[in-house]
Amino acid sequence: MQFTVVTGLSGSGKTQVMRFLEDAGFFCIDNLPPVIIPQLATMFFSINGKYENVAFAIDSRVGDMIGDLLDNLKILKENGYDYKLVFVDASDEVLVKRYKETRRHHPLSSGMGLLDSIKKEREMLSKIYQEADVVIDTSNYTLAQLSKALRKIYLEDQTEDFTVNIMSFGFKYGIPLDADLVFDVRCFVNPFYVDELKNKTGNDREVRDYVMNTKTAKKFMDKLVSMIKFLLPLYIEEGKTSLTVAIGCTGGKHRSVTMANVLSEELPEYNKNLIHRDILRGK
């Protein structure tokens, strides 16, 4: 189990960091008083196995208690717990712009101007900043770039965390709502009209051989595999964690199943879910 403590300037992107960690499987607690960190750590370790990673977000919303953060992290270390202190930062100019765009109130604003509130908060957090294991400056980051930076910190092999969902389907039952890319293979020879193949599926060798035993089908698959292999690293770079590629024929039993199987076999380096949505329909 590893603890991550996320702190930093208000408006710097801590919420996005916590959302990333939650999507990565962390149990996340926001706006936590530092004084209860050691007790929570003990509690989580007492049920070890249920939670592999835990993230706490602690910032100036807790007021003067933020000054107790480093002391409580010291207790955490003395008790043998592993943690990573992540400080999320941004320039004063960027923070002012973000607050003006969102029209939110700064947690330290009490009669003082926005810029003065930011400077006061930066001073409050200066010692924590110096002790941080990781500092992420989001001044020039888009959400996708922030996600990429976090993936480098927490997910050394991004390919291992990326899943390709390859789905066959029948157009007569509707296009899958969760599809990112949809390919129509109704233009290829249809085994449905061959008596000995009609009641078989693309999982059967006879159907697969029938569908793929044409130059056009082979050429289509070569181009499809080439395009998907070109696109997947770009989606990973953009910060996506999964992509659903849907291949459809009329009923979702023969051609689409065959080509979904072939595509899956051509992507051995990726985690895959192979789904034949409509293969049992009409039976």
Query: What is the per-residue pLDDT for 259?
Result: 97
Q: How many CB atoms lie within 10 A of CB 80?
A: 8
**Contact between 84 and 133 (Cβ < 8 Å):** yes
What is the number of structural domains in the chain?
A: 2
- Answer with the one of 134, 156, 178 that is the final residue of a domain: 156
Question: CB of 133 within 8 A of CB of 86?
Answer: yes
Distance of CA 231 to the CA centre of its chain: 17
Asked if residue 28 belongs to a domain, the reply is yes
List, for residues 59-96, the tens digit of each pLDDT value.
Answer: 998 988 999 999 999 999 998 888 999 999 999 999 99
What is the number of residues in the chain? 283
Q: Are residues 209 and 165 in the same domain?
A: yes
Region of residue 282 (phi > 0: left; psi between -120 and 50: alpha; otherwise: beta): left
Domain final residue pick, 90, 125, 156:
156
Residue 102 CA: distances (Å) to CA of 57, 105, 106, 120: 21, 9, 11, 20
Say if residue 70 is in the same domain as residue 210.
no
For residue 11 the two structure tokens come to 């408006």
pLDDT confidence of residue 235:
87
Confidence (pLDDT) at 143: 85
Output the pLDDT for position 160.
Answer: 60
- Domain identity same for 196 and 106: no
If asked whether residues 61 and 80 sit together in one domain, one would say yes
pLDDT of res. 261: 97
Q: Does residue 283 belong to any structural domain of this protein? A: no
The single residue listed with the structure tokens 């291992």 is: 160
Output the 3-class SS for the chain. Answer: CEEEEEEECCCCCHHHHHHHHHHCCCEEECCCCHHHHHHHHHHHHHCCCCCCEEEEECCHHHHHHHHHHHHHHHHHHHCCCCEEEEEEECCHHHHHHHHHHHCCCCCCCCCCCHHHHHHHHHHHCHHHHHHCCEEEECCCCCHHHHHHHHHHHHCCCHHHHCEEEEEEEEHHHCCCCCCCEEEECCCCCCHHHCCCCCCCCCCCHHHHHHHHCCHHHHHHHHHHHHHHHHHHHHHHHHCCCEEEEEEEECCCCCHHHHHHHHHHHCCCCCEEEEEECCCCCCC
Residue at which a domain ends, from 156, 172, 199: 156
Same domain, 19 and 146: yes
Q: Is the whole-model pTM more than 0.95?
A: no
> How does strand 163-170 pair with strand 242-249?
parallel
Q: Which residue has the tokens 């459809």?
A: 248
95 with 186, same domain: the answer is no
Residue 182 lies in a domain: yes
**Are both 189 and 145 inside the same structural domain?**
no
Q: Residue 282: inside a domain, yes or no?
A: no
Q: What is the pLDDT of residue 239?
A: 73
| pLDDT at res. 243 | 94
Residues of the chain with pLDDT under 70: 48-49, 155-161, 283
How far lies 277's CA from each of 52, 57, 186, 258, 262, in Å?
Answer: 33, 41, 16, 13, 16
pLDDT value of residue 124: 93
Same domain, 118 and 66: yes
Give yes or no: residues 138 and 234 share one domain. no
Tell the residue number behind the tokens 């990333």, with chain if given: 20
Identify whether residues 12 and 146 lie together within a single domain.
yes
Give the domain extent around 151. 2-156
CA dihedral (16, 18, 20, 24) in degrees, to 10, reads 180
What confidence score (pLDDT) does residue 210 get? 96
For 10-55, what is each residue's pLDDT tens digit?
A: 999 999 999 999 988 899 999 989 999 999 988 888 886 677 789 9
